[in-house]
Structure formats: structure tokens, C-alpha cells
Structure 1
């Protein structure tokens, strides 16, 4: 019996056999999407504390939470970063009223501007980066981590459980003053396989050569709720993997087995892509796929803000 057939019959076998099948499903995922030695990892609050305290290559810690949360308390030495500052057009009240949503999620193309902002954060290829978020957020930490991976940073990590996990583990190590980093020397080397562009996605859908994962809510997936895009619905053929399902009840990221079950079986040799509204929630999904399963998925940063702006591009609605 083939791996696919076994997975299809998983609901009729014993609990013990089900666990065996799930392990097989993970292996199928790795084979299908092309597992790589991932430059991204998940670190615990205890591990981050030890890395900060160690001599030598201390990590650059970036906090992707809203500014008010950062001011209320953050990991010592961390720097606040806002993913919107790295977009072609920064989403905000004014841009929602008068701007072009097609550009809100897209990563900025101005290399000089990107360099200045990244180096101001102390970014260097010789220092690992740990990105901090919050389970109550929208996966902003994933967007920052994905951006760094796409730009070629060799060592990126997410803090498991975000800042709340740090506060529980290290209640006496919380700062409120902003830190200042020495200028870094990071040189971007974009990795095209990590980023999906509109025309490439359109062509792949036309010939069935992509597996597409939607990281939004079921309500958005069905077209019942819009978040700034011009049209509602989903890109044809997409599979729903809500961003909210990527965390356990305690706020920690789900493990590899759980993630593999959420994603489902993949077709061998077919690339994997993720999207949402503006490439934020989908970026977290892409980063976790790599950290937990070794799968490099292409995040569509334009997502529905861009796709939905084009009347000539299809969208599906309904369950």
C-alpha cells in the first residue's frame, strides 16, 4: 500500500497505527516539498536567556509587537521592529483611506532603504537573530523572520510563546528603556524560493503546479469578512490552515506532528506557497513549516491586498 493510501485510511485503523501513519505523513511532507537544513529555529525563553548571558556571539533580539507593548516591557537589549516599515507602502489609517492596497503587503524594493533600516537594527550575518512576538498578535514575528530569511540571513529564530513566555521564565529580566544597537554590516542576498510573486503564482495555479495554504480565518476564507482588500474570498485551490491553529492553548507554537496534520498530505515535487491578507500570518506559517518540518515554502507577501486589487484574477467564495 502506498503512503497516500495509508494516509487516506488513517481514520479506520487503530490508535497505534494512526501514530505510525502520522509519522509517515510527516516524512511525505518532507519528501514532497524538499526538506533542507533549516537556518531557522524555535528557541525557548530559557534558551534565549542563556544565549543573551553567554559571552561571544550574543543574538540580535528584535521585538515585533506593537510599540505600546514594547514600552511596557521587553527582553533586555531588544530592539523594536515594525514589519510595515519594510513595505512598499506602509499600511495605516491614511493609506487605508487614500492608498493603494496592492502595495501594502509587498516587501520594499529599495535596496538602499532596506540596508539602512536593517543595519540600524545592528543586523549582521555573523550574529544570530531572535524575533519576539505575542500569541495574541497576528504573527508579526513571523513576517520579520521571513523577511530576514528571504534576504539571506543565515541564522534566524522565533521565541516560543513570545514575550509572555519570557516574562514567566524571567520575571526579573524585563526592561522598559529602549536599547541602541551599533550599526550592522548585513548584506542582503535574496532567496527567490522563499517569496511568491503574483505572476508566478498565477502561472502555477493555471497548470496546477503549486499547493497553496491560506493562513486566514474560516470567515475570511469563505469571503464573509474583508480586511482592507477590495474583494473577498480565497485564491482558487487554496487549503485553509488558520494562523490561530499554529499555537497551542499555552501560546507555544505547535509541534511538527500537529503542524503536519494541519497542513495535510502534499504532492511529491509540487512547491508549497502560503498567503493571507498581507503576507503576515502566512509568513508565520511559512517560517514554522521550515522550523518544524524542514519545508521551505514561498510566502506570497502581496497576498489578497494585491491579488484582490486585480479584477482579472479569480477568487472563490463559500465553505
Structure 2
């Protein structure tokens, strides 16, 4: 990868080297990358607007950062259309496209806590804030692992060497992300099983109207679609980076388009079209305030719901005559 006819890749251009020895292994498609740049620009704008409208700070910040990183990544690929040996274009692409899904995952993780409260916190094995703190830590670990991978790749590339070590470091971060996502899915499935076991009569009556609305149901479907798309993308990246940036799959732009770009576009657009602020509706504020009433998981007797069973908390909203009593018993 580093040389063609005795020429360092750092000195390559259209006259000296074939495009097959460029950082990408091909000339990135201009129409494809312009299309996805436009899609993620729209998604970024939508998520910023929706975050401000519905005041979904955590979810909105994660999704907006992720979309911005995607925009930067595809801008890098557009630069590479002109010069696929460009180091800046390569750096921007691997860091933008590589790190963005970690922030998408963080936004998705935050939804589980509110879903648990919407059906009944007392049904859950662990109290709602456990989900938030556990998966935020998991996402931070994933970023901490992947970010050095991008840095190592950049250093190797700046020396004209294949960024193999950086690719493997990034691969370990993505593997951890898939593990965390699998745990999230397992906990979600376990909670769904418990909801079914106790029956609808045990579900929190405060949110019954919200749960039966088509907006909330559409949000749940969109969330499932987003998780599936993220999972497909993550598995693809594991397969891609297992061969390093010089591997066969890393040089297949069609695979990149379908399994990376399309999957993340589906994720970003579905979560914007059926945003949690829209899906939860008026219940979002109520759930947020109920969530705030729970202690942090590391407090004494604050991890499992059974240890909070005797608590009774009254939370008043700003609107007159709106309140609820939290009695976390199944």
C-alpha cells in the first residue's frame, strides 16, 4: 500500500500511482458521497431542531454530534474524490465515519430508561437510572478505545505506512460497542418479558394513554429499526477492520455504501422522523421528572427496585393540578 513503482504513497498523484494503492483503494464515488453528505446534513438539522423543540438534551446532543461527525466524514470522502492519496481526507473520513456510531449508540441507550418508566419502573429488576449510568460508561469506554485507534492510524499514515495497528485498536472498540449493544438488547428483552409476565394490569396507569398512542408505538418501531441498522453496521465494521484498512472489504465501496452509509442513514432518519420527544409526547416531561426522583445506582440500596419498594415520592409539574405518586411496587 505504501509504495507504487518505488514512489511513497505520500508522494503519489494521478501521474505516478494507480488508484488501487491509495488510502481508500479506489476513487470514492462523488454522487454517492454527495448524496449521503446531504442526507446527514438534513438529519443533523432535524436533530438539532427536535432537541430544542422537545428539550431532549441528552438524546439530542448525542444524535447531533453523531450526525455532524457523519457530515465531516463524507466531506472527507468528497475531498478524496479529487485526491484519494490525500492524508487530510483520509484522517477526516476514518475519524468522522468511525466515531459517529458511538454517539448514535449513546442516544439509543438513553431511551431504555424512559421506556422502562413508561411501562412501570416497579416491573424492572433494576431501578431506571442503572440503565443510564451503565450504558453511558460503556459508551465512554468504547470512545476511549476507538479514539486512539484513529490517532494511531493517522500517525502511521503520516509516515507512509499502512495504519494496521490503528485499525485493530479501532476494531477492539467496535467489538466492545457490539457487546454493550447486545447487553442493552438483552436487558430490553428481559424487561419486555417481565412486562408480559405481570400483565397489563401492573403497568403504570399514568402513562396508559401515551402507551396506546400511535406516536409512541411508531417510536418503538423506529427504535427497533435504528438498533437493527446499528447492529448490521457494527458487524460489518468488525469484518472490515479485521483485515485492516488494506483488506479486501475495506476496498469495497459497494459494501461500504450498503452496510455503512445506508444503515447509518436509516438510523439517523428513523430516529428523527419518530423522535422520542414526539413519541412520548406530553409524557416526556413527566417521565423526566420521575427519572430524576430515583437515587444514583451507587447509593446504598439503590441498585435493585426491590430495595426501593417502600419509597413514595410526589412530583409536581409546573402546570397546575398535575402530579403523581411513585409507588414502586409490582
TM-score range normalised by the length of the shorter chain: under 0.3
Between structures 1 and 2, the one with greater strand share: 1
Between structures 1 and 2, the one with greater helix share: 2
Q: TM-score, normalised by structure 2?
A: 0.26
Name the larger-Rg structure: 2
Q: TM-score, normalised by structure 1?
A: 0.27
